[in-house]
Structure 1
Amino acid sequence: MDFHLIDLIISLLTLTAMEIVLGIDNIVFLSIVVGKLPKEQQRSGRTIGLIAALGFRIGLLFTVSWLASLTNGLFQVGNFVVTGRDLIMLGGGLFLIAKSTSEIHHKMEEGETDLGSGTSPSFLNVILQIIILDIIFSVDSIITAVGLSGNLTVMVLAVIISLVIMLIFSGKVSDFINEHPTMKILALSFLIMIGVMLFADGLHFHIPKGYIYFSMAFSLLVEFINMRVRKANQSP
């Protein structure tokens, strides 16, 4: 087999895996926001949200020169050079922190049963929130992809494959989060952490994503154990 072809396949698999990992944030946010819609609209919301993400990411790949300009300085504050990417990360981080904190506060004030009674946001409102986060996560994801591979075809294929995989599993993830109140609070806490990470990144304080994902995995493991313990205590 041609070594060039092997290199392309490895690059495709690596990029696809990376896009899926980076897309975890997107799926968690999608699950929280779409979960507030009526049941019959949730699937449409998830599908439109992920298709919008696919459209944004492929569109960004075809504007690589503009994307590269996002890392150029726009203005300077003291010794701090502010780029277009920094502004997107700062705005996105603040949006995630504010949105997640508001959701947790809403649950503490009204409770899970009140949340679903007559206070569902409009379908358009949910889609707009999803699109805002799609733009933020897409910019971060595609800048990383461009840094790893210079082959446009490979990058487009990786984005398409990863979004199809996320589309397949997003329903199960969303249902699981929305069926378990403690899991929902945990997911919102993850989003606050991700928001802090994005905001810090915008200030040029890089927090390795591995730390975030490890803490997420550990917290999930503890919560799964708690769920099993609660289930065992409830059984006769």
Structure 2
Amino acid sequence: MDFSDPQFWFAALQIIAIDIVLGGDNAVIIALACRRLPEKQRNQGIFWGVFGAITIRVILVFFAINLLALPFLKLVGALLLLWIGIKLLQPEAAGDGHEIDASTTLLGAIKTIIIADTVMSLDNVIGIAGAARGDLTLVIFGLLVSVPIIVWGSKLVMKLMNRFPLTIFIGAGLLGWIAGGMAITDALTREWVNMHAAFLHWLMPIGTALVVIVTGKWLAARAQKNIALIDLTNDTNKPM
């Protein structure tokens, strides 16, 4: 297909629509990963995170069906999402801000975006591959057009998180929800769940979302307590 073919544009619109639907999840990932960066680094984190995520997704499209047929792949991905969701709820490290190099923090945000987006894309790339019918030009075109939408969405989510901290927990819970859905649709578990435990289709995502929120909040409270103790010790040891 070429740009003059109406089928090209129809397929491109399908890919864009698929990616816009997914953009909400991507925006949450990007916002969570970049929310602690200095203002001047946030745009860099968003750009390179989205760039890396889109590149990985283009590659995954051509291996999607084979990848999703592998046992344990989604289970491993679900565990990764649970870890990322809990990690994103943790407070910033104690100190005066000089222990952590800014470039390292930026790199960490980019890595988080790419890893999480790769994990979350395993189901979605099948739809993109089907719409593109193996046409690499279509895949790249559709994904590139959707990038501005994802970037704008991530900036909006970041503003909400800065103003309403509760949205951070909602975002982390969303990662847990997605992880639960992935765990029960793995090639190893899907058939058994459908035949013997169909209720897990709604119970598992709820349970894993709660695991992320409760565990993340508990660990964050412990970390805050440790930070407070360190600050108290430092204040006590200061010369009068």
* TM-score with structure 1 setting the length: 0.66
Deviations 1:10-59 (A, max 9, x none): 32212211111123212201111111222221111111100111211223
Structure 2 unaligned regions, length at least 5: 195-200, 207-240
Report deviation, 1:100: 1.8
Alignment check: 8 A CA contact 1:53 1:138 kept: no
Distance 2:149 2:160 in 1: 17
Q: Provide the residue aligned with 1:69 in structure 2.
A: 66
1:143 and 1:69, CA in 2 relative to 1: closer, same or farther beyond 3 A? Answer: same
2:116 equivalent to 1:133: yes
Q: CA RMSD in A?
A: 3.1
**2:53 alignment partner AA:** A
1:60 and 1:115, CA in 2 relative to 1: closer, same or farther beyond 3 A? Answer: same
Q: Residue 177 of structure 2 is aligned with which of 179, 189, 193?
A: 193
Distance 1:58 1:71 in 2: 15
Deviations 1:134-159 (A, max 9, x none): 32233332222113441513232211
Report deviation, 1:175: 2.1
Paired residues for 1:54-133 under 5 Å: 54-61=54-61, 64=62, 66-72=63-69, 83=70, 86-104=71-89, 106=90, 118=97, 122-133=105-116
SS at match of 2:36: coil
1:67 and 1:188, CA in 2 relative to 1: closer, same or farther beyond 3 A? Answer: closer
Q: Provide the residue aligned with 2:126 in structure 1.
A: 143
1:170 and 1:87, CA in 2 relative to 1: closer, same or farther beyond 3 A? Answer: same
1:36 and 1:180, CA in 2 relative to 1: closer, same or farther beyond 3 A? Answer: same
> Percent identity over the alignment?
24
2:20 equivalent to 1:20: yes
SS at match of 2:50: helix
SS at match of 1:122: helix
1:88 and 1:23, CA in 2 relative to 1: closer, same or farther beyond 3 A? Answer: farther
Larger radius of gyration: 2
Report deviation, 1:117: 7.0
Distance 1:26 1:32 in 2: 10
Identify which of structures 1 and 2 has the higher relative contact order when contacts are C-alpha pairs closer than 8 Å and 6+ apart.
1
Report deviation, 1:172: 2.4
* TM-score with structure 2 setting the length: 0.65
Q: Provide the residue aligned with 2:8 in structure 1.
A: 8
Report deviation, 1:71: 4.1
Report deviation, 1:173: 2.4
Report deviation, 1:102: 4.1
**1:70 alignment partner AA:** L
Alignment check: 8 A CA contact 1:93 1:195 kept: yes
2:171 equivalent to 1:174: no
Distance 1:142 1:182 in 2: 31
